[in-house]
Structure 1
């Protein structure tokens, strides 16, 4: 049995998901999963580094070290819990923490920046590390995101059926898997990032559990219309985004005056649902099944809005297919590490717009 580990900490900054995966069978088999919340100080610093600030290079380097230590701690706990020896793990695929994502901008190439000291993680874990997956695609002229569609195709595609996969993390990304076997995908708007920001500001909670606060509010149609005027929603793929766009200043520039905070919350939830549903209707109108993963799959209000907005598709959690929503992306990065070891390309030109398929990731031997 060959084991790969996957580590994911996404735009929502809720913590680290770690998985141990056996890919040798007909489908990935998760041997163990661990969620480890960020220490408050590390979370605050990673969030702050999404915006320009003083002494950024020094702070970013120390945050990358701290994240490597947090990753290594999650790995040690996971392996200990599952009685897996580090020597039996082929590689560890680690996403790192995105703090800037500006592909194709400025000089035509742009950049994407995921904080993580991969060398320190290899040193601390005693396991070969593959990280920095996005930069190679950006170097080849691509968006560097999303990277999960190739993995989604292996796990969720259904021959003869039009399937779409919606990952609702901090940012929402959509994978399109039509019946003919093609693979495409793109970021389609905010996922949980604005929702988490708003409820933290007004109720002091890290997230809206089940969408309870949003479901008790009223969608403000004028505010929703203003939110949807952002050019990102009408841009054609390939496209990707992050906190560089959908952030506190972006929201503060919207017509919020006179709208009750709970109604703003309901409107932001509708924005997430509409961004995804409109993208499906525009780019994959024949979709028969929408598989939802990521933390947003646990938000009953968001799920109900997707059902209402996409009456022609069966909206379902990835859990119904045997893959817990909060494990999908971590499994994907274990899969990406395996692809790197096997020198297999794991980006898709139709997704990122790169000049060709590339082997992704940087390798740090144990």
Structure 2
């Protein structure tokens, strides 16, 4: 039995999802799942490191150590809960925490930064670690994101049917799986990064549970138009984004003065839904099924808005297909770790725009 661990912490910064996965079956079989929130101080520092600040190199290095320790503790808790030994696990596939994502910019190559001390994680866990998955694609001229479409194709594709997969993490990304075959995908806008920011600011809570507060608000048409005027939405894929663009300063520069906070939340939720729906209308209008995963799949208001905006598509949570929404990306990075060990490409040229398919990640032996 070959077991891989997948460790994922996304742009939403809500914590770490860990899965133990067996890939020997026809489809991935999750043996165990664990979630652990970030320590408040580490979470605050990771959020701060999304912006320029004093002594960044020193702070980023210590934060990378902190992420490694948090990952190692989550992995240990997962193994203990599942009754698995370290020796039973072949590899940890670890995403790290994205704090900057600027592919193709500045010098033509750009960069992407996921904070994680992979060597320390290997040392602490006693398991081989594969991490830094995005950099190889960026070096090959690609966006470095999204990296999950190839995995989505394996578990969510339906022969003869136009399927799309929408991951609603901090940022929203789409995978397009046309009936004729092939894989496409791109980031389509913000999701929980802005929604959670607004919830923390006005509710004093980490998120708007089930989208209840947003559901009680009114979408402000002028604000929504201003938000949708962001050039990113009109860009032709390949494209990816992050907190470098969709952040608190971006939102503060919008015409939110005079708009009730609850109406701003309703408008941000509509922005998330419209970003995905408009992208599907433009790039995959025949979509018959939209599979939603990530934390946003638990937001009933967002799911309802997607269904209303996409009347021709069946909008479902990935849970309906047997894969819990909060496990999908962690499984994907376990899958990418396996691909690295088997020297198989993890990217897709049609998704990232890289010059070719590449084996992704860097290996830190235990």
Interval containing the TM-score (normalised by the shorter chain): over 0.9
* Counterpart secondary structure, 2:20: strand
- 2:263 is aligned to 263
- 2:340 is aligned to 340
For these two proteins, the number of residue pairs brought into alignment is 366
Give, in whole Å, the separation in 2 of the partners of 1:35 and 1:184. 30
Kindly report which structure 2 residues correspond to 1:70-149, keeping only aligned pairs within 5 A, or say none: 70-149=70-149
- 1:6 is aligned to 6
- 1:151 is aligned to 151
Q: After TM superposition, give the deviation of residue 257 of structure 1 in Å.
A: 1.0
CA shift digits 1:143-162 (9 cap, x unpaired): 00000000000000000000
Give, in whole Å, the separation in 2 of the partners of 1:354 and 1:28. 27
Give, in whole Å, the separation in 1 of the partners of 2:301 and 2:110. 37
Q: After TM superposition, give the deviation of residue 180 of structure 1 in Å.
A: 1.3
- 1:356 is aligned to 356
Kindly report which structure 2 residues correspond to 1:1-366, keeping only aligned pairs within 5 A, or say none: 1-366=1-366
CA shift digits 1:45-73 (9 cap, x unpaired): 00000000110000000000011000000
Q: After TM superposition, give the deviation of residue 199 of structure 1 in Å.
A: 1.0
Give, in whole Å, the separation in 1 of the partners of 2:332 and 2:256. 38
Q: After TM superposition, give the deviation of residue 181 of structure 1 in Å.
A: 1.5
Q: After TM superposition, give the deviation of residue 191 of structure 1 in Å.
A: 1.1
Give, in whole Å, the separation in 1 of the partners of 2:122 and 2:305. 43
CA shift digits 1:167-206 (9 cap, x unpaired): 0000000000001121000000001110000111111110
- Pairwise CA RMSD: 0.3
In the superposition, the TM-score normalised over structure 2's length comes to 1.00
* Counterpart secondary structure, 1:4: strand
* Counterpart secondary structure, 1:10: coil
Give, in whole Å, the separation in 2 of the partners of 1:149 and 1:292. 13
Q: Which runs of 5+ in 2 are unaligned?
A: none
Q: Which runs of 5+ in 1 are unaligned?
A: none
Q: After TM superposition, give the deviation of residue 329 of structure 1 in Å.
A: 0.1
In the superposition, the TM-score normalised over structure 1's length comes to 1.00
CA shift digits 1:82-111 (9 cap, x unpaired): 111111111000000000000000000000
Give, in whole Å, the separation in 1 of the partners of 2:288 and 2:66. 44
Give, in whole Å, the separation in 2 of the partners of 1:260 and 1:311. 29
Give, in whole Å, the separation in 1 of the partners of 2:193 and 2:72. 26
CA shift digits 1:319-359 (9 cap, x unpaired): 00000000000000000000000000010000000000000
* Counterpart secondary structure, 1:312: coil
